[in-house]
Structure 1
Amino acid sequence: MQETYKRLLTYAYNITGSYEDSQDLVQDVIEKYISLDQSEIKNETNFLIKSTINHAINFKNRHTRKMVYGEWLPEPLSFENAENKLIREQTARYTLLVLLEKLNARERAVYILRQAFDYSHQEIADTLDISAENSRKLLSRAAKQLENIQYKPDHIEPASGTDILQKYQLALSEGNIVTIEKLLIDDIKISADGGKRIRVVKAVEVGKSATAQLLSYVQQQFLGNKPHTFHTFNHQPAICFWREDRIYNCHILDIDSQGFIREIYSIVDPEKLKRLQ
């Protein structure tokens, strides 16, 4: 049952982007399953998977508008944390989780099932109670939207990611806007999530010059005296800034194959940072 639980949790997290909500969803599914008459259920695992995915879709549909300071971002996770029960290879990259927010819940589920779990369209149809043709259309629609926002999951070696993180932090600490700009692509985008309690300077900024100036300002005003550590969260390089024994701010970077930063996700929401401690 432990391996099944990990699978269910991974499905739910990829759809919702929240580990805590995923735990609640899976627990709810399991509790309801235990109370059912199981004599007519032919395959326990398939039944639980189907129930979890549909439960996660319904949850996502009910929570499409999240009242937060800044831009809502998924909860980042570390695979070095023993409490993390997700299947590493099947957990989406952080950038993909962010971009999947542009899709509706059903499109998101179809995309995840096809790309992360290698489901056939007939298997997706059976899981979501739709036709195989509808599954193909939903996948095509989802892929088109991701293509329009130019999602290209470039592979970055861990050593390269760390090297870029070091250059990034050095540039920030020096407050040299020109140096910061050299690390960024022209249409760099930074998004900040303060959750329900922390106000952020700006929710979204786009463009090399504007982003460099914003980063320099945040560094001078909030991060300059805080120690930092380098990590990998959701398969991507990240830097955490600490206040005493708590993470104060986390930047997750999306880096292209040339070594330039094309997206920065700044998570300040303490609820999303607590599992990274």
Structure 2
Amino acid sequence: MQENYRQLLTYAYNITGSYEDAQDLVQDVLEKYISLDKTDIRNEKNFLIKSTINHAINFKNRHTKKMVYGEWLPEPLSLENAETKLIKEQTARYTLLVLLERLSGKERAVYILKEGFDYSHQEIAEVLDISVENSRKILSRAGKQLQNVQYIPDHINSSIPNETLSQYQRALSEGSISMLEELLLNDIKLSADGGQRVRVIKAVEVGKSATATLLAYVQQQFLNQKPYTFHIFNHQHAICFWRENQIYNCHILDIDHEGMIREIYSIVDPEKLKKLV
């Protein structure tokens, strides 16, 4: 049952973008299953998978609008943490989780089942009670909105992202707008999530010059002299800034093969940060 639990949790997290909500959803499914008449259930695993996915879809559709300061971002996780029960190889990378927010719950499920768990369209149709043709159409529609982002990056262990992260930290510590600009693509996008408690300066910033200027200001006003640590969350490199032995701010970076930063996700929400490490 433990392996089933990990798989169910991974499905739910990929769809909801929230580890805490995923745990609650899976627990709810398992509790209902225990008291269920199982006479007509031929395959326990498939039944639990179907129940979890549909439960997660319904939850996602009910919670599409989240009242937060800034831009709502998925809850990042360390997949190396023993307390994190997700299956690492089937957990979507962080950038993809962000992009999945553009999709409906069913579109997320179809994409995740196909790309993350290698389901056939026949299997997807059976799980979601749709036709095979509809499954193909939904996948095509979802794919067009996801910018061909890989489910899991193939360069996570290369030296390029590590070097970029070190250069990024150095540019921040010096408050150098020019150094930051050298690391950012022209159409760089920065998104900030303060949750329900922390106001952020700006929810979204786009463009190399504007983003570098905002980063330098944030560094000067809030991050100056704060200790930092490097991490990998959801298959992507990150830098965390600390205050009084707690993570104060986390920047998750989307770095391309040339070492340029395409996206920055700045998480200040204390509810998400307290579970990171």
Distance 2:187 2:149 in 1: 14
Name the structure 2 match of 1:155: 154
Contact 1:156 1:255 in 2 (8 A): no
Q: Give 2:121's aligned residue.
A: 121
**Which 5+ residue runs of structure 1 have no aligned equivalent?**
none
Q: CA separation in 1, counterparts of 2:268 and 2:91?
A: 22
Query: Do the aligned partners of 1:155 and 1:257 also contact (CA within 8 Å) in 2?
Result: no
Give the C-alpha shift of residue 80 in structure 1: 2.3
Aligned residue type for 1:156: H
Provide, for residues 71-126 of structure 1, a one-character-per-residue CA deviation record: whole Å limited to 9, x for no partner.
Answer: 00000000221110000000000000000001111111100000000001111010
Q: Distance in 1 between matches of 2:176 and 2:25?
A: 46
Write the mapping of 1:205-220 to structure 2, written as runs, cut at 5 A: 205-220=205-220
Aligned counterpart, 1:133? 133
- TM-score normalised by structure 1 residue count: 0.97
Structure 2 residue aligned with 1:100: 100
CA deviation digits over 1:155-195, x for unaligned, max 9? 33433222111100000111110111000000000000000
2:68 matched residue in structure 1: 68
Aligned to 1:189: 189
Partners of 1:80 and 1:120 in 2: CA distance: 29
Gap change, CA 1:43 and 1:76, over 3 Å in 2: same
Q: Among the aligned pairs, what percent are the same residue?
A: 75
Matched, 1:18 2:10: no
How far apart in 1 are the matches of 2:173 and 2:12?
Answer: 38
- Name the structure 2 match of 1:85: 85
SS of the counterpart of 1:275? coil
* Number of residue equivalences: 275
1:46 is aligned to 2:46 = yes
TM-score (norm 2): 0.97
Query: Quick check: 2:160–2:258 contact (8 Å CA) kept in 1?
Result: no
Residue 228 of structure 1: CA displacement?
0.2
What pairs up with 1:214-253 in 2 under 5 angstroms? 214-253=214-253
What SS class does the counterpart of residue 36 from structure 1 fall into? coil
Letter in 2 for 1:88: K
Distance 2:209 2:149 in 1: 22
SS in 1 for 2:274: helix
Unaligned runs of 5+ in 2: none
